[in-house]
Amino acid sequence: MSTYSLTNTNIDIISETIGEFLDSAKVDRKDALRIKFATEETLLNYQEYFGEAQEVTLECHKRFGRPRVLISIACDRFNPFDEKLKQGESSEVLNGVLVNMGLAPNWEYVNGENRITFVPRKKPPSQMEQLLVSIGSAIAIGGACTFLPSDIRATIATYGINPIFDTFMGMLSAIAGPLIFFSVAWGIYSIGDTSTFSTVGKKMMFRFVVMSFLVTVIGCIPILPFFNIVLDGATSFNLFDLYKLILGMVPNNFIAPFVTGNPLHIIFVSIVIGLSMLILGNKTTIAAKLVEQSNYMVNLIMETISKFVPYFIFLSIFGMVIGDNFELLVQGSKILLVTLLAYTIAVAFYVGLVSFRRKVSPFILLKKLSQTFFIAVTTASSSAAFASNMETCERKLGIDKRIVNFGVPLGQIIYMIGGCILFMTAALCMAEVYGVNISPIWLVTALFISVILAIATPPIPGGSLTCYTLLFLQLNIPAEAIPIIIAVEVIMDFVCTAVNLLCLQTELVELAGELDMLDYTKLRKAMK
pLDDT tens-digit profile of 271-297? Answer: 888 888 888 888 888 888 898 888 888
Q: Is the pLDDT of residue 88 over 50?
A: no
Q: Is the pLDDT of residue 235 over 50?
A: no
Greatest mean pLDDT among 327-331, 437-441, 495-499 lies in 495-499
CA dihedral 14→20→21→25, nearest 10 degrees, is 160
Residues 6+ apart with CB under 8 A from 381: 497
Could you tell me how many residues make up the chain? 528
- Position 39 confidence tier, pLDDT thresholds 50, 70, 90: confident
- Position 420 confidence tier, pLDDT thresholds 50, 70, 90: very high
Q: How far is CA 471 from the centre of its chain?
A: 18
- Position 85 confidence tier, pLDDT thresholds 50, 70, 90: very low
Q: What is the pLDDT of residues 99-124, one digit of tens each?
A: 544 556 788 888 888 888 888 776 66
- Position 90 confidence tier, pLDDT thresholds 50, 70, 90: very low
- What domains does the chain contain, in order, with CATH numbers? 2-118 (3.30.565.10), 128-524 (1.10.3860)
Beta bridge partners of 106: 117
Task: Specify the pLDDT at position 503.
Answer: 93
State the helix-helix crossing angle for 463-474 and 440-456, rounded to 10 degrees: 160
CA quadruple 513, 515, 519, 521: dihedral sign: positive
Contact 302, 179 (CB under 8 A): yes
Q: What is the pLDDT of residues 242-276, one digit of tens each?
A: 677 677 778 887 888 887 777 778 888 888 888 88
Q: Is the pLDDT of residue 98 over 70?
A: no
What DSSP designation does 367 have?
Answer: H
